């Protein structure tokens, strides 16, 4: 999920389902494999997640802190239940330490998390132990008070549009739901056209204009973040393991330049995974947790990519 600074938060995607879905299959307009141009790009290993592995969590940054919210943890072998978590942790990129902050009020996973004007917003999610069910209940977090507030009913996702595992952005374009953080309400659905290629879940994205060249390696459950007008995409999963690594997980890092409308391939992830999020602090992209095999496979890995 990805967040830009504005008061309008857009949730793209259909009603939630817990499955992988490929991104659209259009050809990229240009793709270059220019590893040599990115010699300065690198991965850094950071202190792993205290309190256990996590996936299907959400990630956002407030100031210089990176937050990891809810999700599910590693299950016993052959487990069929994956209880949702309330756990929220924050990593200070300054002191390089993790701390636990106030739990989100209800257990959830695949939440739409966004940071706007110094606050975190949870705008709809999935909940339960599996199968996961959508809920439109929404919350706001005040880091100064270390407190969550349940938004009034008008702030919950409108009936019929409740979902999780969407992509979050802000600005103004394209089954898109739009929440206004200033009025605390959702805008009427009319006037927000559905996604052109149909619904999908486990997407990652950013609002960058009207159109985008299709990504070179279609994948769901990926992480995405924007730095300097470029959208970086990391990893993802594929139920069929087609094109993915042996565990059904992609290692691919691909970046979309919003100015040139071109994709470029970057060096692979140091630890390929899916099912988490990415947040940017000072031009570095932080990726806590995530699963190292398709479906369930939560890890405590925490690393950062410097473009
Ligand atoms: C778990 O599943 C694997 C593969 O299906 C099987 O070999 C193993 O015996 C199972 N373990 C338990 C504890 O049921
Ligand atoms: C998406 O939009 C279509 C067409 O307007 C509508 O029928 C459907 O209920 C919407 N779904 C969600 C999740 O909002
Ligand atoms: C996946 O993560 C688990 C938990 O951290 C670890 O035990 C396992 O070795 C990892 N597998 C791979 C292929 O990295």
- Expressed in angstroms and rounded, the spacing between residue 161 Cα and the centre of ligand 2 is 7
pLDDT(2) > 50:
no
pLDDT, tens digit (0-9, with 9 covering 90-100), for 133-184: 999 999 999 999 999 999 999 889 888 878 777 766 643 222 466 777 778 7
pLDDT, tens digit (0-9, with 9 covering 90-100), for 24-40: 333 333 444 444 455 67
Q: Is 211 in the pocket of ligand 1 (CB under 6 A)?
A: no
Q: Given this model, what pLDDT does residue 213 score? A: 66
Q: What does DSSP say about strands 302-306 and 65-69: parallel, antiparallel, or unpaired? A: unpaired
Q: Given this model, what pLDDT does residue 169 score? A: 61
Average pLDDT, integer, range 245-251 = 89
Q: Is 77 in the pocket of ligand 1 (CB under 6 A)?
A: yes
Q: What does DSSP say about strands 31-33 and 262-266: parallel, antiparallel, or unpaired? A: parallel
Which of 118 and 75 is assigned the larger pLDDT? 118
Q: Is 174 in the pocket of ligand 2 (CB under 6 A)?
A: no
Which of 170 and 104 is assigned the larger pLDDT? 104
Domains and CATH numbers, the chain: 8-306 (2.120.10)
Q: Is 78 in the pocket of ligand 1 (CB under 6 A)?
A: yes
Task: Take residue 181 and report the two structure tokens written for it.
Answer: 């953080």
Taking the CA of residue 78 as reference, the ligand 1 atom at the shortest distance is 1
Spatial distance between the Cα atoms of 62 and 93, rounded to a whole number of angstroms? 11
Of the candidates 121, 125, 142, 143, which has an alpha carbon nearest to the alpha carbon of residue 134? 125
Spatial distance between the Cα atoms of 244 and 250, rounded to a whole number of angstroms? 5
């Amino acid at each position: 999920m990805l967040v830009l600074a504005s008061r309008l938060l857009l949730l793209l995607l259909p009603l939630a389902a817990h499955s992988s879905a490929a991104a659209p299959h259009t050809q990229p307009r240009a793709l270059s494999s220019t590893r040599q141009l990115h010699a300065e790009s690198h991965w850094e290993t950071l202190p792993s997640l205290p309190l256990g592995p996590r996936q299907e969590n959400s990630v956002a940054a407030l100031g210089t802190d990176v937050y990891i919210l809810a999700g599910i943890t590693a299950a016993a072998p052959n487990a069929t239940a994956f209880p949702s978590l309330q756990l929220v942790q924050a990593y200070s990129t300054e002191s390089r330490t993790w701390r636990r902050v106030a739990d989100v009020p209800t257990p959830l996973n695949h939440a739409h998390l966004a940071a706007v004007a110094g606050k975190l917003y949870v705008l709809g999610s999935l909940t339960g132990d599996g199968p996961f069910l959508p809920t439109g209940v929404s919350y706001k977090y005040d880091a100064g008070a270390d407190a969550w507030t349940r938004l009034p009913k008008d702030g919950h996702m409108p009936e019929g549009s409740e979902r999780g595992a969407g992509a979050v952005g802000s600005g103004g374009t394209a089954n898109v739901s739009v929440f206004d953080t200033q009025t605390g309400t959702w805008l009427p659905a009319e006037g927000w056209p559905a996604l052109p290629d149909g619904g999908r879940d486990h997407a990652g994205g950013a609002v960058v204009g009207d159109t985008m060249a299709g990504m070179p390696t279609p994948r769901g459950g990926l992480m995405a973040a924007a730095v300097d007008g470029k959208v970086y995409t990391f990893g993802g999963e594929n139920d069929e393991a087609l094109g993915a690594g042996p565990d059904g997980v992609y290692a691919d890092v691909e970046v979309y330049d919003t100015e040139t409308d071109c994709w470029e391939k970057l060096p692979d992830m140091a630890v390929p995974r899916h099912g988490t999020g990415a947040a940017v602090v000072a031009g570095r992209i932080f990726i806590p947790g995530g699963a190292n095999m398709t479906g369930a496979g939560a890890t405590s890995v925490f690393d950062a990519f410097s473009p």
